[in-house]
A and B are shown apart, each in its own frame.
Chain A
Amino acid sequence: MAVEKMSLAKALNESLRKALDTDPKVLVMGEDVGKLGGVFRITDGLQKDFGEERVIDTPLAESGIVGTAIGLALRGYRPVVEIQFDGFVFPAYDQIVTQLAKMHARALGKVKLPVVVRIPYGGGIGAVEHHSESPEALFAHVAGLKVVSPSNAADGYWMLQQAIQSDDPVIFFEPKRRYWDKAEVDTESIPDPLHTARVARPGTDITLAAYGPMVKVCLEAAAAAEEEGKSVEVLDLRSMSPIDFDAVQRSVERTGRLVVVHEAPVFYGSGAEIAARITERCFYHLEAPVLRVGGFHAPYPPARLEEEYLPGLDRVLDAVDRSLAY
């Protein structure tokens, strides 16, 4: 057993280090990932140890980063590219959606695109415009992409290596406001498969389904609800494409109630997809309609308003109360 307490940022760094060390075909690419170690220091020290041929500082051109990563993957490499912030992925969106997602199918399986696109996402750090968005639904909607998000250091460590080992392109959303949260990471135990959900806290009255930054908020909500005598189960989905609907179904069949929580706007969001599928699968088990808590259909607000925009403890507890009132 090798258990070590570390931050999510450190866990991701260790994960990349292990991947680079294990497979000479793994490359790390992005703006400022070399000497600086990335703006969040996720790639800190990697270029020093693995050299400029493995840890590649790129020009400031997101489409170029993803487009060349596709070419490198066609040549047999496994690029892990860093997009500096969520809002900056859109210049690369064309390459991701029209090329990265479809090339394996277009080639009838003859080529593989093992590219990981790492995106620090979500709000809560008081950033300026385009630095706090949650565009995961835009990627999950595209066939050919897999979309995941760890919520804690242990998942960060393992899920990133699993994503790198996958022969499919994986969009890897990192909850930037959890980068500095520490947790115990077992670097030897065999983890769950990448796309399985995890019961983060068992409960019997209602299920909260969340991923990434919102798992912590839901755990806090569950603890607060317990003081009021309510038993709340928290499900960490971990993967937005595919979604482990079996795990959600199992939980909802026990509790009869479901609230989906995410930072992204509710409208057309992953909560809508989960609500629809679970309504179909669990119609006779549901005691209340599936409720959603998330962002509004408005541009992500200036930092001084983000606490109002982001789902917090009170909005989650309010949804729990509304569900239980049915």
Chain B
Amino acid sequence: MTVENTAARKPRRSSKRVSAAKKPTSSEPQLVQLLTPEGERVANPDYDRHVADLGPEELRGLYRDMVLTRRFDAEATALQRQGELGLWASLLGQEAAQIGSGRALRDDDYVFPTYREHGVAWCRGVDPTNLLGMFRGVNHGGWDPGSNNFHLYTIVIGSQTLHATGYAMGVAKDGADSAVIAYFGDGASSQGDVAESFTFSAVYNAPVVFFCQNNQWAISEPTERQTRVPLYQRAQGYGFPGVRVDGNDVLACLAVTRSALERARRGEGPTLVEAFTYRMGAHTTSDDPTRYRHDDERAAWEAKDPILRLRKYLADQGHADEAFFTGLEAESDTLAKRVREAVRAMPDPDDMAMFEHVYADGHALVDEERAQFAAYQASFSTEPDSGSAAGAEEGK
């Protein structure tokens, strides 16, 4: 059963008709869906054309992206448990939202992520090992944002939606036809910065897509603590369309994001996409979801698993055979091994690194403190040998 969100299409009468036919509730939301939890393809007159180009190979590609991302995520979680990472923010359950939207992007589009967009990073070609540096504590982001058009993870909730909007304003000024996408969560929707980014993007008609992954929980606070209306409806008040998509349906996420990006490229301004999904794991490895939610909730969402439903579809359609699935398992193992080894081999930053890149043009105080600290560190190596091996190590 597919129910089209009408906010994007606007005609009021049709909206009433749909409302009468199916009243939205939070447990049974109106959402764009192309692939049911049972793996059945359902038609959608508005969005089918956005995925019409997908043949068996492309479908297998989406499946591969989701499987490898999930495996990477599981490995990172394990590495945190083994003490190799200080923290990890798992994306378990959100693979379809991230891969679907990530694969909708063109190379020249620009992405502003939060700190959980490991699947989007994968789609952008960011080496997954680079995502782990900040969680291991060796840097605050281990990649050059410009080389993949994938900005650094942003930890302060919602800040990046304004950066995305400003960047999109610049894209429009440049006369370019690329688009910008900003990721955030249902918790961030309560932040003033997100509201301000809606205002700015609407006023300046900026080519930006706001991709909200409503994973139902902001740490322990449920979506009901963030909003009294479905999040996609927020867009209406700002004057641009909002769409709710089944966030566990990779085809629907791909189609809806492509549609929104095309709209942005045509100069028609922003779109809010609410990907209705579920965070299957904890908020981060420091969180304990058993304190605030029931197992049966997770069980209900496990039945909607984004990977299983595409697997079923691929198998039913004869698009993938057992050899494909077995091969992918082996590829996952290889990826996990590579990630594990790369993390363990990550060197601690040099002592003096904290003084680097504080300023682009330099700063007298930083120069002074760098010199003082260097002299202090050097003083250990010039001390007379006390015969202690530990002392020698300290002096490195």
Q: Which residues on A are within 8 Å of B, measured CB to CB? A: 53, 58-59, 61, 63-64, 66-77, 91, 94-95, 98-99, 102-113, 143-144, 146, 166-168, 195, 241-245
One of A63, A64, A94, A110 near B144 (C-beta < 8 A) = A110
Q: Determine if B140 is an interface residue (Cβ-Cβ < 8 Å).
A: yes
With A67-B193, A110-B146, A244-B364 as given contacts, are A72 and B170 in contact (CB-CB < 8 Å)?
Answer: yes
How many A-B pairs have beta carbons closer than 8 Å: the answer is 140
Tell me, in angstroms, the Cα distance from A108 to B171 when the chains sit together.
24
- Which residues from chain A contact B170 at a C-beta distance below 8 Å? 71-72, 74-77
Top 10 A-B pairs ranked by shortest CB distance?
A71-B166, A67-B162, A75-B170, A68-B166, A64-B196, A167-B360, A71-B167, A109-B357, A242-B364, A106-B140
Tell me, in angstroms, the Cα distance from A95 to B160 when the chains sit together.
10
Q: Determine if B21 is an interface residue (Cβ-Cβ < 8 Å).
A: no
Tell me, in angstroms, the Cα distance from A198 to B356 when the chains sit together.
29
Q: Which residue of A lies closest to B357 (CB)?
A: A109
Q: Which residues on B are within 8 Å of A, measured CB to CB? A: 139-141, 144-146, 151-152, 154, 156, 159, 161-171, 173-174, 192-193, 196-197, 199-200, 203, 356-361, 363-366
Q: Across the interface, do B166 and A111 meet the contact criterion of CB distance under 8 Å?
A: no
Q: Across the interface, do A77 and B173 meet the contact criterion of CB distance under 8 Å?
A: yes
- Which residues from chain B contact A242 at a C-beta distance below 8 Å? 363-365
- Which residues from chain A contact B164 at a C-beta distance below 8 Å? 71
Q: Main SS of the interface on chain B?
A: helix
Q: Across the interface, do A104 and B168 meet the contact criterion of CB distance under 8 Å?
A: no
Q: Which residue of A lies closest to B139 (CB)?
A: A108
Q: Across the interface, do A68 and B165 meet the contact criterion of CB distance under 8 Å?
A: yes
One of B154, B163, B200, B356 near A59 (C-beta < 8 A) = B200
Tell me, in angstroms, the Cα distance from A103 to B357 when the chains sit together.
10
- What is the distance, in angstroms, from A146's C-beta to the closest C-beta of chain B? 7
- What is the distance, in angstroms, from B114's C-beta to the closest C-beta of chain A? 13
With A53-B173, A59-B203, A72-B169 as given contacts, are A67 and B363 in contact (CB-CB < 8 Å)?
Answer: no
Q: Which residue of B lies closest to A145 (CB)?
A: B359
- Which residues from chain A contact B161 at a C-beta distance below 8 Å? 67
Q: Which residue of A lies closest to B147 (CB)?
A: A110
- The listed residue with most A CB atoms (<10 A of its CB), out of B167, B193, B196, B356, is B196
Between-chain CB contacts (< 8 Å), 20 pairs: A63-B193, A64-B193, A64-B197, A64-B200, A67-B162, A67-B165, A67-B196, A68-B200, A70-B163, A74-B166, A77-B173, A99-B159, A99-B163, A103-B152, A106-B140, A107-B145, A108-B141, A113-B360, A143-B366, A144-B359
With A98-B156, A99-B156 as given contacts, are A68 and B162 in contact (CB-CB < 8 Å)?
Answer: yes
Taking A67-B193, A244-B364 as given, write out 7 further A-B residue pairs in contact, using a Cβ cutoff of 8 Å, ordered by the A residue number: A61-B199, A67-B165, A68-B162, A94-B156, A105-B356, A107-B144, A108-B356
- Which residues from chain B contact A71 at a C-beta distance below 8 Å? 162-170
Q: Across the interface, do B356 and A109 meet the contact criterion of CB distance under 8 Å?
A: yes
Q: Across the interface, do A105 and B152 meet the contact criterion of CB distance under 8 Å?
A: no
- Which residues from chain B contact A99 at a C-beta distance below 8 Å? 154, 156, 159, 163
